[in-house]
Amino acid sequence: MDKNVKLYVVVPCYNEEEVLHETSKQMLELFAQMQSEELISSASRIVFVDDGSKDKTWSIINSLTKEHTEIAGIKLARNAGHQNALFAGLMTVKEDCDCAISIDADLQDDIHVIPDMVKHYIEGYDVVYGVRNKRDTDTFFKRTTAVGFYKLMQLMGVNIVFNHADYRLMSKKALDGLSQFHERNMFLRGMVPLVGYRSTSVYYDRNERFAGESKYPLKKMLSFAFDGITSFSISPIRMISAFGAIVCVIAVIMAVYALVQKIIGHTNAGWASLMMSIWFIGGVQLLSVGLIGEYIGKLYKEVKRRPRYIIEAYVNEREADE
Ligand code: UDP
Ligand code: MG
């Protein structure tokens, strides 16, 4: 048995027949190099997760597993979506590896920082985030929407790593922590920081997708962003309450204004009372919706059953002495 790190690289694939050969070739080269440098053990694996693809993805993965012992495959019964496919892969390999790296099949994320990630793992980090330096290969649209998204998330009080997608290394310990999150709405880049443990980042330049098309059309991207916000933040509910409070203040101002107008005699019959009730009822309704929202927010937190804490170490001196 060699003592080198047993690394598993998990690659979710949805209709990726055009990229698999090139991706596996580059990964295998990197694996060979890392093995010769005695960084990773010969039991390390590249695990392709077929996320219910409709093309030849699975048959390619299947034949790759026969050609190379370093390659393994997992086939999901249907298309479960990127985040679920990734989670499925990580949870499946968790018992077999020392640490796992998740990366997209299209090699947009530079695989050459993988050795650095492993080195950080050896230094004792449990989570290593891959962070994009610049985005000049992304389209203007993708770049602005992505940066806007990270800004918005931070504004909503969600703790995510800026410009980090799902390219990261996690130790077995961190994966065990992640496995305690039972939520169905997966937003991994928000969940991993909640697990805790020592973390660091490596930086790389993002490449263009070398073949095939993005599997994240605008519709999926928007729903992903919306999922991220609603799974991690109840700020939108708080905004309703705040808006309700503002409308209530306006209601008071309007009441005074309407009364003054009525006394001066500038009004038609019924105007003042109508004006006052419209603003008052509006404010009260918004406040009530916000209040109900607060309870729903609490309920939501409860049903997610997230771990309240994860213990990293328990040092008990007396027991150790005995
Ligand atoms: N993917 C997946 N299931 C899906 C959609 C995408 O497993 O339903 C995978 C896809 O094969 C790729 C990764 O998720 O490995 C990221 O997708 P893509 O590169 O198309 O997204 P983009 O880089 O354009 O954001
Ligand atoms: Mg991509």
Q: Cβ(151)–Cβ(225) under 8 Å? A: no
207 lines ligand 1 (CB under 6 A): no
The pLDDT value given to residue 248: 92
Most confident of 14-18, 206-210, 225-229: 14-18
Cα 206–113–211 angle (5° rounding)? 40
Q: Which of 48, 49, 186, 215 to mutate to test the pocket of ligand 1 (most atoms within 8 A of CB)?
A: 215
Give the three-state DSSP class for 69.
coil
Atom of ligand 1 nearest to the CA of 108: 23
> How far apart are the CA of 305 and the centre of ligand 2, in A?
31
What is the distance in A from the centroid of ligand 1 to the CA of 49? 11
pTM of the shown model? 0.84
- Give the pLDDT confidence of 52-97 residue by residue, as tens digits: 999 999 999 999 999 999 999 999 999 999 999 999 999 999 999 9
Residue of 23, 216, 220 best suited for mutating to test ligand 1, as the one with most atoms within 8 Å of CB = 216
Task: Dig out the tokens for 264 from the structure.
Answer: 């001066």
Distance in Å, CA 250 to ligand 2 centroid: 48
Handedness of CA 78, 82, 86, 88 (dihedral sign): negative
Is the C-beta atom of 85 inside 6 A of ligand 1? yes
Query: Would you state the structure tokens that stand for residue 94, as one six-digit string?
Result: 């968790």
Instruction: Assess contact for 197 and 126: CB atoms under 8 A.
Output: yes
The whole-number pLDDT of residue 169 equals: 97
SS3 195: helix
Closest Cα partner for 117 from 30, 57, 187?
30
Long-range contacts of 312-321 (CB under 8 A, 24+ apart): 312/196, 312/197
pLDDT in tens, 30-42: 999 999 999 999 9
Residue nearest to atom 25 of ligand 1 (CA): 216
CA of 293 to the centre of ligand 2 (A): 36
